[in-house]
Each structure stands twice: as structure tokens, then as C-alpha cells.
Amino acid sequence: MDMKRRSFLTGGALLTVSGIVPVASGMLASEQAAHDKYKATQVPPPDKLLDSEPLLQVPAPDSVGVSFAVNALSVGYAQVADNPEMKNARQYVCEGMPLAEIHDRVLRVRMDGLKPATKYWYRIGAAAVTYPIGYWMKPSPIEWSAVHSFTTPGEAAASHFMVINDTHAQWKPFAMATEKMRELQAPVAVWNGDASNTSRTLEDIVKIFLKPGSGTGYGADTAILFNNGNHDFRGQANIHLDQVMMTRLPSERSPRDWALHRNFAIRQGDIALIGLDTGEDKPDFHPAAGGATRFEPYRAAQVPWLEDQFKRPEIAQAPFVVAFVHIPLFDPNPNANPGTLLEDYAAWQKQAAELWGPILAKNRVQLVIAAHQHRYRFDPATATRPWAQLVGGGPELGFQGNTPDDGKFPTVIEGKVVDGKLRITVHDVFKKRVAGEFSFPSRLG
């Protein structure tokens, strides 16, 4: 055995796996040449392989996803540790089994096996990929990001969340909203739909979520619970939105609910957060859908899923339950568009309201937080609709078209348990004032 081979074997996996030298020593000269060439190949990474800040997402008590942009065909990594120095960090590679995904623009890594309600430090990394010998893949040295942190959800986590919605790639209001998010420092933010306008290419989606025109790093230390809005279904690229915005783990839902990739129900301290998807704001028979949508069965499929969430002890026993939908489930105007007509578009989603509303009522859900109307509104609970509804503002800054309108401002809705009550604060991030405050007693009382 010459020295070259010895150095390969002692450094390689063959010896550690089998420990049987005769197998390796039977290597053909041509094989040895391939090993030598592989080992000798230097793969310099591009100048700047990482092309965005990390975006934390799909938080669960035992896992958190992260996606980020890269400049070349790469494999992605994340390291997670219980200390900011990253001592004894656990390393993860891109999601996918058996093949970890490689991609030339967006990488997604799932950090799993985590403990609930626990603070972690993490960094992301990427290695450019080349193929020096046939199909033998060789990654470059890993380029690592700065260290960031997150705290996993769970019953012992902080009872604190924030909500943004209808950002529509408008970077001035997005700057106002993300600045408020930074100030509030809740461990989780619900992005309640209409991040897109119409996304035709993957690059459109990369710009919206990973390389926004303001608020850089908004999701590097706060996990995002993304809920679809009607605009997030529009354009060819949004069919593959999960290339950038990861879906819930299959283990979080039963096989019956396989299609419900984004619905979430997690405990954030004393608050259960439930995400429901209202879909498009037009019926499936509308020509805009081209006969290629199934929103009506999709809303119906969320019924058994929603019912089952309240059978989970941690959801059933939550002192506070808040449901998130993009299109409201109620409108105070009896003539408001219910989303079932050919004309115009939904002001509220009648099918979802009829299917889900009674389940929310039966389970004493205190509040539905909606979006879509681009105008902040609060609908108090009534005897027949025991859940209240809060509608977030939109991206317009004091104008409706060219007409001044004081009711048009973006909001960050904050929920926090204070003195045993759920306190909801609606921050008008345009005029930097509190637009509304609401308080809800425990549903268990």
C-alpha cells in the first residue's frame, strides 16, 4: 500500500464503515486514480455563495425550517447549538431523503430533533457542488453565515405572537412593519397572506421572501408562520411556492390530510395558534382559474383536520385559541361579496365561514385574525358568532388610490398574555400609534 492510498483510507469512509482493509486494498488501479483525482480536485466556492439572510419558518415544538438564497448550484447546511459560540453544534444538510436537495437558487434545511420552548443559536451554510469524476459529487468548503437565534414554540414558551399581512411586495410599508416586528421581539410572526401579487418566476418569489426591498433579515431571528392569501396562488411560480416557503412536516398531520401542507396548530405559550387556508377570492368556476383549481374541496378538506386539532390535549387545554385566515369569515355588510359569485371578488369567504365557523364556536375559539380587506376592522363577538374577528390593514399609506383615506394603514397585530388575559394590540405602523386594543379572558374559565 503506497502512502497516497493510506492517506485516502485513513481519511475516508471506507475504513470507518468496514474496518476491513482487504476490501479496500483490492481497489483497482483505475479506481485508485479516480480517488486520487477526486481528492486532489479543489472546488473554490464563488466569491459570495450565500445570497440572502436566513428565513426561519414552519416552527414546531421540535423542528424549525430555514430557507435562503444562493448564487450557484449548492448543497445547504445549518448548524444548531445551545450556545452562541456554536460549541458542540449539530449539523443538518438540506431536506430530502434519500437525496438531500441541491439547487442553484434556494436551499431549504429542516432543523429537527429540537426541544420545545428552548432557545437555540444557529447559522446557515452552503457549499458549491461540482462533479470532478462522473457522478461523484464534491462540495466546496462551506461558506457560513453569521450566528442567529430562535426559540422553539411549546406550552412553556412565551405567550406572544405578531401578525403581518397583505404586504404585496410594497417595500415602504414592509419596512414599517418589519421595524415594528424587530421592536416587539415576539418569537413567532404569522404572515397572514398576500405576500405576492402575481409570481411568474421563482425569482419573483425569491425577491418577495428572501431578498425583499426592505426589512433585510426580518426572519433571521423570528420564525414565520406563513398562511396563504389569494394572491399567493396566482401566477405559474406560486404552484411551486414551497420551493421557498417550506410546508409542515408530514408527521404533523394524518395521511387523510396529506394535501393540507400549510395548516398549522401549535402552542405558543398559553395561546394555540391555528392556521386555516381560505384560498382564492373567486369561485372555482371563475374563468380566472382556467378550470384548474380545487379551492372548494380544499376548504372542505380542512374540516376534519380542524375538528381533530381540538382533540389534541395541548390545543384543547389552551387558555386562548386564535385562528388565522386570510379572507375574513364574516362581513358586517349583508350585501358584501361572499366569494361564491362570478362578479368581483370576495369580501368574506362564505363557504369557509359555514364550514369552519361552527367548529370554532363549539371549541370556544376567542378570536379570528383575518386580512385581505386592506382596512383594519374589529367585529366583536355576538350571541350567534361567539368568536370575535380582527381584520388587519393593508399596504396603502393614507390613500385609497389618489384619495386621502385615514383608514388605510399597514398594521402589526400583537398578541400577548398579560395578567392572565390575552391582550391584542393593533399597531398602526404608518402613523406609529396604537389603532386598537382588545382583551380576552381565558376560554377555560
Binding site for Fe ion (CB under 5 A): 166, 194, 229-230, 372
Q: Provide the strand spans (E) within 252-364.
A: 264-268, 271-275, 320-324
Nearest approach in angstroms of CB 188 to Fe ion is: 22
Q: By C-beta, is 23 or 341 nearer to Fe ion?
A: 341
Residue 148: exposure state from Cβ atoms within 10 A (0-12, 13-18, ≥19): buried
Nearest approach in angstroms of CB 309 to Fe ion is: 24
Q: By C-beta, is 229 or 269 nearer to Fe ion?
A: 229
Give one DSSP letter per residue of 353-390, joined into a string: HHHHHHHHHHTT--EEEE-SSSS-EEE---SS--SEEE
Q: Which residue in 190, 259, 252 sits closest to 226, CA to CA?
A: 190
Nearest approach in angstroms of CB 396 to Fe ion is: 10
DSSP state of 105: S
Nearest approach in angstroms of CB 194 to Fe ion is: 3
Nearest approach in angstroms of CB 371 to Fe ion is: 6
* 75 touches 61 (CB < 8 A): no
Report the DSSP beta bridge partners of residue 136. 133
* 337 touches 392 (CB < 8 A): no
Give one DSSP letter per residue of 338-354, joined into a string: -S-SSSS--SS-HHHHH
Nearest approach in angstroms of CB 377 to Fe ion is: 14
Q: Left (φ > 0), alpha (ψ -120 to 50) or beta: where does 286 sit?
A: beta
Q: Which residue in 207, 210, 227 sits closest to 219, CA to CA?
A: 210
Nearest approach in angstroms of CB 345 to Fe ion is: 8
Q: By C-beta, is 153 or 229 nearer to Fe ion?
A: 229
- In whole angstroms, how far apart are CA 339 and each of 227, 238, 342, 375? 19, 21, 8, 18
Q: By C-beta, is 173 or 187 nearer to Fe ion?
A: 173
Q: By C-beta, is 35 or 231 nearer to Fe ion?
A: 231
Q: By C-beta, is 232 or 270 nearer to Fe ion?
A: 232
Rounded to whole angstroms, the Cα distance separating 230 from 237 reads 14
Nearest approach in angstroms of CB 374 to Fe ion is: 6
- In whole angstroms, how far apart are CA 424 and each of 322, 367, 404, 434? 11, 10, 28, 11
Residue identified by cell 358584501 is: 336
Q: By C-beta, is 230 or 411 nearer to Fe ion?
A: 230
DSSP state of 432: T
Nearest approach in angstroms of CB 392 to Fe ion is: 10
Q: By C-beta, is 274 or 327 nearer to Fe ion?
A: 327
Rounded to whole angstroms, the Cα distance separating 133 from 129 reads 12
Q: By C-beta, is 262 or 372 nearer to Fe ion?
A: 372
Nearest approach in angstroms of CB 67 to Fe ion is: 23
Give one DSSP letter per residue of 14-45, joined into a string: HHHHH--HHHHHT--HHHHHHHHHHHH---PP
Q: By C-beta, is 68 or 324 nearer to Fe ion?
A: 324
